[in-house]
Structure 1
Amino acid sequence: MIFFVYSMLAFHPQLDFSGQGNWGKGAQTSMDVSQYIIYIFTFFFILYSMSAFLKSRKKEFGIVMMLGMSVLQLRRLVFLENVVIGLASTIAGIGTGLLLSKGMLMLGTSVLALEQPLAFYWPVRAAWFTFAAFALLFVFISLFTAVILRSGTLIDLLKGSAKPKPEPKASAGLAILAAALLAAGYIAAFVVKGVVVIMALLPVALVVSVGTYFLFTQLSVYIIHKLKNRQSLYRSKTNMITLSDLAYRMKDNARMFFLVAIISTVAFCAIGTLVGLKSFLSGFVSASTAAMKYESYAGNKEQERHTALIERELTEAGIAYKPYVIRKKYALDEEKVRRFALIPATDYERLTGERATLGEREALLFYSENVNFGEETGPMPDSFPMRDGTVLDIRENAAMPASLAQITYADVLVVPDAAYEAQPASDDDSISYVYDVEDWPSTLAVAKRLMEQLQRNGEHHSFMARAYELNQLHQSFGQILLTGLFIGAVFFVAAGSFLYLRLYADLEHDRVQYRAITKLGLTEGELSKIVSTQIGLLFFVPIVVALIHGAVALNTLQNTFNANLVKESALVLGSFAAIQIVYFLIIRAGYVRKLKNVL
């Protein structure tokens, strides 16, 4: 179903960006690659699910072989069953995807920030592509499963999963190692900042992964043994049944828990990172881009015609605006390292509305807070030498306000008008024509027309508009976000399905066990409580671990970009947690009902 919905969006006639420059080709390629990722991951997931089904049917296979079925007939039976299940699920997935298609098109419109909503169409190509891809996949896996099917000895098949298991044991040393590795990974993730994060990424991920593996295989079993040793707790109510069975479940499911935790963490981090980056970049572009700005450089002969064109377009569109003209001259500091934009005090006062009371040899310095991977801005000078030999004292050091950040990326020196005029002209000098529009989102159509007429970066000028830049960002980033959402959804659904399959693989064993305990006086209420506790741990232990891993990773991302991504991280992690709770409630209700039916 997920593959079909994704294909429906990928093949949508309105979403063909391949002809829209390099970013369009890149976005189209990313969608194609994502389709292959979903398909490959689905292959391994279905292979796992089929092996889980076969393992739970050992006793059945033993009975039919005892009645005379040959190994070849058994393999043919398994092949045909898997093919029928595969074709039925493929058709059902396409049908369900069609029912959800309108909602998915609305989601695609929202994520991609499209001006026109995606129109509904009959996704014949997507349907045939999905059917052919998954029919081939199921036939191949069915053939592969049937060929490698091991019948085993008859006595082993008849016993199925009823063979007694040795009591699970845990090493105290490995349990302590698990806690130490996780603690070390988390501390490193919180401590490292800036570009060091990139270098620490692989070692921290490796340490946390190893720690997670030992958490499930050793630490969890070790904690359960410690709880069992507390007699007052162990012998209270139904805790004996819960804890005794829990140790076996944790040990049996340790590798699956580890896999689910890692897969879920990848899904959380991928989607959280994409959502957070989109929010961060949107905020950065909004803050650093004027509603509309025309930059005229030295030697521009079209300056008056272009500015008149901009004002005429805005007036004809009925958009109210306030024009500002800001002159800028550029100079380097004494070390020839840092570049400064010199702005006359009168232009600064007109743009910001703030008074700049300066002496003849005084200046105000505003430094830009650019994205610097969390590293602090270097020390600012106390004085600045002008080209004419005079030295200006820096009276104030402050972070650059948005109005100044929108006209230059360099640090700004506000100087007296006389000092500005005395500064010799150079080819780097420019004039910013800023058009302040309160309702700036309404300028998108005008900005697109002006962008075509002015050609964003001309020989001696450039043109920018906030609405246009955000629209370009949302469209290009939306493609990546959409693919990330679908890949994350596949990973998360697969993680939940691993848990579901493992739970139902133990159903027959649980039926026998609880039927026997019920004869000793276990009530239905106590049964529900025990099963709910065990299923709850089965479902939530790996997901809670993944949520903690994801929260730490997203916090590191936040420190790296020196941005506040708490809201976006909470939204992503909270959404996944809510889905898992609903999934648990549905599965738990069905499982308890199946157990009660045989009591």
Structure 2
Amino acid sequence: MTFRRFVINNVLRNKRLYAAYFLSSLFTVMIFFTFAMFAFHPAFGEGDVDGNALFGMGVAGGIIYLFSFFFVLYSMGSFLQSRKKEFGLLMMQGMSIRQIRFMVFLENMFIGVIATVIGIGIGTLFAKLILLIAENVLVIEESLYFYFPLWAIIITLLSFTLLFLVISFFVTFILRSKKLVELIKADQQPKKEPKASIFLTIIAVLLLAAGYVTALLAKGVTVVIVMIPVIVVVTIGTYFLFTQLSVFTINFLKRRKLLFWKKTNMILFSDLAFRMKDNARTFFMVAIISTVAFSAIGALFGFQTYLTGGMKEANPYTFTYVEDEDASDEASQDIETVNQELEERGIEAKQESVEMEYYNMGDGEEVLIASETMYNDFAKLLGKNPIHLEHNEIIGVKQNDAIMEGYVQDNFTDQPVQLKNDEQLTLKEIIDGTVLPEMYGYYVVSDATYQQLPEPSRTEKNTVWKAAGGQDEKLIQAGETLRDEIETFNFQANDYTIYTINKMFGPVLFIGLFIGIVFFASAGSFLYFRLFTDLDDDKSKFASIAKMGLTDKELKKVITRQTALLFFAPIVVALVHGAVALTALSHLFDYNLVKEASMVLGSFFIIQVIYFIIVRFVYIKQVKSSL
């Protein structure tokens, strides 16, 4: 048997040992190929996506490829760490360190090439489904039809062949020889009892608390100012959390005799401190990478919702037209154009017009004062509750401040309104509600009081249309047509504007989603490698304990708890980090992102639960096979 044949047989006959590394590499290739297939789609060469988006996709592809390099390198390092005993046995049979390096090089290239080919094959197989998802996320007018991704195949094949070649050379170069006895007894080396520094444990708590409190208390642009210091502090605190605080907590629980001696807790806690100490760096890496994934996708999704949701709240009308005082004939023609377009497309919409009068408050600021009837007519159009005012009663209406943060209320609070008879009205109440087509806050007075107002400084006529729901596609098309026909900034087509924002933002969200998936999948693979690195030790340990009377049910319970702690400790920390980061983002924009944060963090948590269930099943099966 030739040396190359020995290497191939070694891989094929040890499927479990090589499976994790192979699947991680395959997944990485598949993600990159999917992204390349999407980026090289012919539809993008026809101008449907602008050059900035294509440039962004190119940068994202580079990020994914660079991260793939370090991910595969880490996976390979963990893979080799679990094979020390095997290398020792081979050296006993006469294999030199040079031959071991050459064996590792050939194995890595063999697995890499196979993973690349299969990854491309699976990506091509699900190409149409992937393109369909991309089409909907990106808000693309034309269909992303299936095509044979020749360039994507070539780029992926060349890129990952080079990647695995470089990693193979790099790994064999750093693979150092150790004494034979150390390799043979790699899994029998005694471990010292893990100890934690009380000082560093306190530092971990203080750093995390300081970072969280600072991030949660910051408002507006202060969030940007404190962002870098908070990231640094929380990152250091996270490292000490896993290296010191976790070990301190476990040792503390072990000293609680009632807890430690209860049922199978002795088995769990006896080994847990060693696992936490051994896996601290992996947990730290997984927590930080997962936090980046959560925060990036949550921030992109939240920012898109902020733009579109804030616009809907600030202007709830389908179409809005503001007349120029010196162009009434042109305004009448434009309004007729809107009505004709609505009629031709069969769009049901209610129309309302109003002359809004603005008054100089004496400090250079103009404020709209509307009558009760004006407000109620527009409230009825939006299906909101009307208001009823007494004579000489005045209230303020605070408009949506998602975009004009802090400006609205300060604009009119405590400013008296002067009537013709010199009587002054003082603002008594401020209510929330976007009703009249006005960006800033305004006053509302009773109809009788409205007649007593002095001459306004200026008058502005607004016409709005509110369409019934379920006509989104028609409204977008009508808005696009009207924006071309009515060439003025005074006309707004809300649905079409939101559509263009989604279309522009879609590629950014899609790119962020891809990068986030790669990061999160990599984090999961890191945990998988660390778990299966300890598989042989667990087999030996549980085989010994089973002889002492450990039942099958208890075995499953102990393994489930250990595996759950391994999988969810860093993910829970990442979820908390992500929640704090997204809360700080909501403070930056003064816009509630609870819904978006819950969707993103909840989705990732559900994925992790599914991954945990699968890995737990496989791990228990492997351990039970040795009993």
TM-score of the superposed pair, with normalisation by structure 1: 0.89
> Equivalent pairs: percent with the same residue?
41
Q: Distance in 2 between matches of 1:546 and 1:355?
A: 47
Deviations 1:433-490 (CA, angstroms, capped at 9, x unpaired): 21222245232211111111223xx3xx532112101211221222222112111111
Q: Distance in 1 between matches of 2:460 and 2:146?
A: 49
Q: How does 1:287-298 map to 2 (within 5 A)?
A: 287-289=313-315, 290-298=317-325
Contact 1:327 1:430 in 2 (8 A): yes
Contact 1:383 1:391 in 2 (8 A): no
**Aligned partner of 2:430: which letter?**
A
Match of 1:122 in 2: 148
**Aligned partner of 1:447: which letter?**
G
Match of 1:7 in 2: 36
Q: Distance in 1 between matches of 2:158 and 2:330?
A: 58
Match of 2:18 in 1: none
Q: Distance in 2 between matches of 1:373 and 1:234?
A: 57
Contact 1:113 1:474 in 2 (8 A): yes
Q: How does 1:181-260 map to 2 (within 5 A)?
A: 181-260=207-286
Q: Distance in 2 between matches of 1:101 and 1:363?
A: 62
**Aligned partner of 1:193: which letter?**
K
Match of 2:585 in 1: 557
Query: Any unmatched runs of 5+ in structure 2?
Result: 1-29, 381-385
Match of 2:414 in 1: 381
1:325 aligns with 2:353: yes
> Structure 1 pair 135/446, CA: closer, same or farther in 2 (3 Å)?
same
Q: How does 1:341-490 map to 2 (within 5 A)?
A: 341=368, 347-348=374-375, 350-353=377-380, 365-371=396-402, 375=406, 377-378=409-410, 380-384=413-417, 393-394=425-426, 397-399=429-431, 401-404=433-436, 407-414=437-444, 422-425=455-458, 430-439=460-469, 441=472, 442-455=474-487, 458=488, 461-490=489-518
Contact 2:399 2:434 in 1 (8 A): no
Contact 1:181 1:208 in 2 (8 A): yes
Deviations 1:362-420 (CA, angstroms, capped at 9, x unpaired): 8654333322697584261332469x99786355543463231xx23233345776677
Deviations 1:192-234 (CA, angstroms, capped at 9, x unpaired): 3333222222222222222221111111111221222233433
Q: Distance in 1 between matches of 2:518 and 2:333?
A: 54
> Structure 1 pair 373/487, CA: closer, same or farther in 2 (3 Å)?
farther
Match of 2:107 in 1: 81
Deviations 1:49-105 (CA, angstroms, capped at 9, x unpaired): 001111111122222223332333222211111111111111221222223333322
How far residue 556 of structure 1 moved from its aligned partner, in angstroms, is 2.8
Contact 2:358 2:456 in 1 (8 A): no
Contact 2:359 2:456 in 1 (8 A): no
Deviations 1:325-356 (CA, angstroms, capped at 9, x unpaired): 233455554333x4434557765554345578
Equivalenced residue count is 584
Contact 1:367 1:397 in 2 (8 A): no
Match of 1:580 in 2: 608
SS at match of 2:490: strand
SS at match of 1:476: helix
Correspondence for 2:157 among 131, 134, 141: 131
Contact 2:378 2:435 in 1 (8 A): yes
> Structure 1 pair 400/303, CA: closer, same or farther in 2 (3 Å)?
farther
> Structure 1 pair 330/13, CA: closer, same or farther in 2 (3 Å)?
farther
> Structure 1 pair 323/217, CA: closer, same or farther in 2 (3 Å)?
same
Contact 1:285 1:469 in 2 (8 A): no
Contact 2:395 2:431 in 1 (8 A): no
Q: Which moved more, 1:7-16 or 1:408-417?
A: 408-417
Match of 1:340 in 2: 367
Query: Any unmatched runs of 5+ in structure 1?
Result: none
SS at match of 1:138: helix
> Structure 1 pair 120/235, CA: closer, same or farther in 2 (3 Å)?
same
Q: Distance in 1 between matches of 2:529 and 2:387?
A: 70
Q: Distance in 1 between matches of 2:162 and 2:399?
A: 57
1:310 aligns with 2:341: no
Deviations 1:104-130 (CA, angstroms, capped at 9, x unpaired): 223223322345553333322222222
> Structure 1 pair 139/18, CA: closer, same or farther in 2 (3 Å)?
farther
> Structure 1 pair 333/40, CA: closer, same or farther in 2 (3 Å)?
farther
How far residue 242 of structure 1 moved from its aligned partner, in angstroms, is 1.9
Match of 1:48 in 2: 74
Correspondence for 1:538 among 554, 563, 566: 566
Q: Which moved more, 1:431-440 or 1:570-579?
A: 431-440
Q: Which moved more, 1:183-192 or 1:285-294?
A: 183-192
Match of 1:91 in 2: 117
